[in-house]
Structure 1
Amino acid sequence: MTGRDAAAVPPPTARTGAVAAFGREHESSAPAATKKQVASWAMWDWAMQPFNTVILTFVWIALYLTSRMFLEPSVRESGQLADGSYMNCNESQFTASAYCQGLTDLSEWWGWANFAAGILILLLAPVLGQQADARGSKKKWVMGATIAIALVQFSLFFVEADPKFFWFGAFAVALAAVIGEIGNVSYYAMLSEVSTPKNVGRVSGLGWGLGYIGGVVALIVCIPVLFLIGQSEPLAFKLVAVICGLWTIVFSIPMFRNVPESPSYEGTEKVGFFRSYIVLGRSIRDLFRTNRPTFWFMLAAAVYRDGLAGVFAFGAVLAAQGFGFSFLEVIVFGLAANLVAGISTLLAGRIDDAIGPRRLIIFALAGLVVMAFVVYALRDYGTIVFWVCGLLLCAFVGPTQASSRSLLTRLTPPSQQGTIFGLYATTGRVASFLSPLAWSLFLMWFGGIVYGVLGIGLILLIGLVLLLCVRFPKDVGA
């Protein structure tokens, strides 16, 4: 099809290159976004990051909800040693104790709550994306998700350090994770409306970069609360949750004030909620028939994105248990990891626009695989190996995430962004068991926690190989 022929018909999501459609629809639907609108859009990543960094990863779940504070008093007391310290559950003589089994149960139960969240995201994210596309309500979905997540974080103030409150806390955080993913679908889909084909990589990188740096700042803000009130005091964790809720509200205001609502697109079918599943099925079928690159890219991305999630999910565990990091060292590493990821993502945005997202993703994934295997190979050299290689791993994670979002935006016309990013969220969740499975199997087979990094490296390698097999249109800058 010639350029003139292509201009004569509505741009499909087709092998002819969706980035061309992206450019045409972008130009015809709205004027270019201002710098203020771009910055305001990116601030939502900053606003949401405390939930991911503080609540989910480093503080609230790890140090409070799954800690001994939520054990039955008799079980908790059974783990206290004569000198006042508690059993180290990594030591074989304590592994089978009621105390250590109780801590294991808490982590397992949190895993089941998280699994339930994943199922809800799998079912809801794509159809809600289709609804947002059809009704031109992406900003409203993001606003609703933001308010709901803030309210959930405020509700964590009422989670007492008592086993009776465990499930309330677990399902509250899991619910916030579901809402966050639903908000992400519409937020990601708005990327095409605040960027152009020439700067989509930089804009995407700006959002990811601000998110990582926001996580660093939020962690720095919350750490004094933990140390001043005390790490064993429930009030400290309650206040941390409130701080995160306030942060989410305050820093999301620029987006809601300065970024206009998305338009509804002609030809996008407006249907009821349950009918959306039929539309979704047709979208998957049509995507496979007309845009194989996007279809296969989402499958490859599902695998390597789960590997990226594994880097952060198990990085702190590997540092503490595999390399002997103290509590303070783990926190400092968390700060450094987010800072490195944020800076590298900001810098990588320009590289994305210069060389194309596919090349950048391949380079970053190759770096991740190499660093994962180097961590294992040089493990006998101690903590310095984890510091250097671990931070290099983090330096590659952010650019991979941002460029994946950029590449998908280039492959998809704006009229289908919500639906496609809903599928993107869904495929990511479909493969979310891979890293935990590989981690656990390598530990079971080889009997040492450091072997787990080989499992994560294997998942990243598989994702890289799958990506190399995808044939992209020439006009996506890939």
Structure 2
Amino acid sequence: MAVSKKRIWGWMAFDWASQPFYTLGLTFIFGPYFAVVATEYFLGTGMIEAAADARAQWVWSLGQMIAGLLIAFTAPFLGAFADNSGRKMPWIAFFSVVYVVTTFMLWGLKPDGSALIFMMVMFYLGFFAAESALNFVNAILPSLGTDKEVGRISGSGAAFGYWGGVTSLFIMLLLLAENDQGLTLLGNAPLFGLDPEMREGTRSVGPFIAIWYAIFIIPFFMFVRDDPRVAKKPTKLTAVWGELLTTLRSVLHRKSLLNFLVGSMFYRDALNALYAFGGVYAALVLDWQTIQIGVFGIIAAIAAAITTWLAGLADQRYGPKPVILVSVWTLVGVSVIIVGMSRDAIFGVPFSEGSELPDLIFYVCGVCIGGAGGAVYAASRSLMVRHTHPERPAEAFGLFALSGKATAFLAPGMITLFTFLTGNNQLGFLPVIFLFLIGLFLLRWVNKDGDRAEWSALS
């Protein structure tokens, strides 16, 4: 059955609407601002600078770890519930409301850090809502085309989202986010009379993310609907629990799916850590300011948009597995550089005084993180479709959500531990390398064409 272009574009609108949370919130504006505010707050308690930087990083990672645990415990059951009832749209609407409310409240993070922990809780509640809604949105993907078409659609949707991230970042940097002199990238004071002294331009990132989503999610709800044939099926909690247990048991008998889910669990966890801590690293290790981090974000997001679209075309021609392998190896190389580089040296080789080489190297790293990360995201969705029974997509993507979040606490937790034990921000990134390598190892047993034929024969 042909799928209307409106439905496909409506589905892709979710990526455009939600991407600013990750681009502006997690990585390039709010995350680094939180790190700076937290560091100043801990310095005010009498800590030395290195200890304050480390404390700021592990507090941020602790928040992500707790959010990851919450998602891990709820995603499997919610996925099974949606699969059993056939209703995804009400859940997406509910989490959208939570997302808008919590992100709007991020305005409250003042420079004195007086609401530091509460604002972190609000941010990660928004993160929980965004990720939970995404799980249901991903479950719609298999219904949008054939296996080959889905690879291109997934890549195009992710690329469309990254362009949304680029556009929103341009607006923030040009008109709102201020530097240490209280000026935006255009050299003006923030719009609307926002007070640079109170960092109101930067703090407006929360309301901006909320308003952006509320506007651009409209096409999704206009053109995407639940399947009317199953949308009103009665659902009992006991049936949902039984469905979930049956699904989990079936995975043990599917070698390709099992290795893909476990392998992607590790490499996606590592990738999320890179996204979450890239801007924090730039702020704490390289001493970058908000505007500089934002420019870095624009470069990375543009690279992600272009590379993800190209990866979608490569997926359509070669399949998703080769795209994932090349991308993850690229991310391993970037992680090694991050661990080995500081403001003063790389792998023990000192930079000349005042050298801009560490900045240039990290810009290249940003391009690689954006490009390879976007390709991994889109190609992993596509490979999951190849392991999905056509009549049970929500169940399959419930598993995908489980694998993505079951250890979502692992990378932040290990970064927290390594940073705490070493007192060093760079060495705190070591676990990310290990997680990528474990993921690559397990992909050896993943069938590039999926296991639909085997599962259909079993069922």
The bucket for the TM-score relative to the shorter chain is 0.7 to 0.9
CA contact (8 A) 1:139 1:262 kept: no
Cα offset, 1:473, TM superposition? 4.9
Rounded to whole Å, the distance in 2 between the matches of 1:269 and 1:188 is 21
Amino acid at match of 2:154: S
Where does residue 187 of structure 2 map in the other structure?
Answer: none
The 5 Å alignment of 1:215-364 reads 215-223=165-173, 224-227=175-178, 228=190, 229=194, 232-263=197-228, 271-273=235-237, 275-289=239-253, 291-364=254-327
Rounded to whole Å, the distance in 2 between the matches of 1:403 and 1:475 is 16
Cα 1:121–1:350 change in 2 (3 A) is same
Cα offset, 1:474, TM superposition? 6.6
TM-score for the superposition, normalised by structure 2: 0.81
Match of 1:67, SS state, is helix
The 5 Å alignment of 1:11-90 reads 31-64=1-34, 67=37, 71=41, 76=44, 89-90=49-50
Cα 1:172–1:66 change in 2 (3 A) is farther
Q: Which deviates more from structure 2 when the two are superposed, residues 439-448 or residues 390-399?
A: 439-448
Cα RMSD for the two superposed structures: 3.3
Counting aligned pairs with the same residue, the percent is 29
CA contact (8 A) 1:302 1:427 kept: yes
Match of 1:123, SS state, is helix
The 5 Å alignment of 1:1-16 reads none
Match of 1:199, SS state, is helix
Rounded to whole Å, the distance in 1 between the matches of 2:335 and 2:54 is 26
For residue 142 of structure 1, the aligned residue among 92, 95, 106 is 92
CA contact (8 A) 1:137 1:264 kept: no
Rounded to whole Å, the distance in 2 between the matches of 1:151 and 1:140 is 17
Task: List runs of 5+ in structure 1 lacking aligned partners.
Answer: 1-30, 80-86
Cα offset, 1:351, TM superposition? 0.6
Cα offset, 1:269, TM superposition? 8.7
- Corresponding position: 1:365 with 2:328: yes
The 5 Å alignment of 1:65-144 reads 67=37, 71=41, 76=44, 89-90=49-50, 95=51, 100=52, 108-144=58-94
Cα offset, 1:394, TM superposition? 2.6
Rounded to whole Å, the distance in 2 between the matches of 1:283 and 1:344 is 34
Rounded to whole Å, the distance in 2 between the matches of 1:422 and 1:444 is 34
Amino acid at match of 1:172: M
The 5 Å alignment of 1:160-179 reads 165-179=115-129
Match of 1:359, SS state, is helix
User: Aligned pairs, how many?
Assistant: 425
Match of 2:147, SS state, is coil
Cα offset, 1:161, TM superposition? 5.9
CA contact (8 A) 1:127 1:273 kept: no
Amino acid at match of 1:423: L
Match of 2:27, SS state, is helix
Cα 1:143–1:440 change in 2 (3 A) is closer
Q: Whose Rg is larger?
A: 1
Cα 1:178–1:313 change in 2 (3 A) is closer
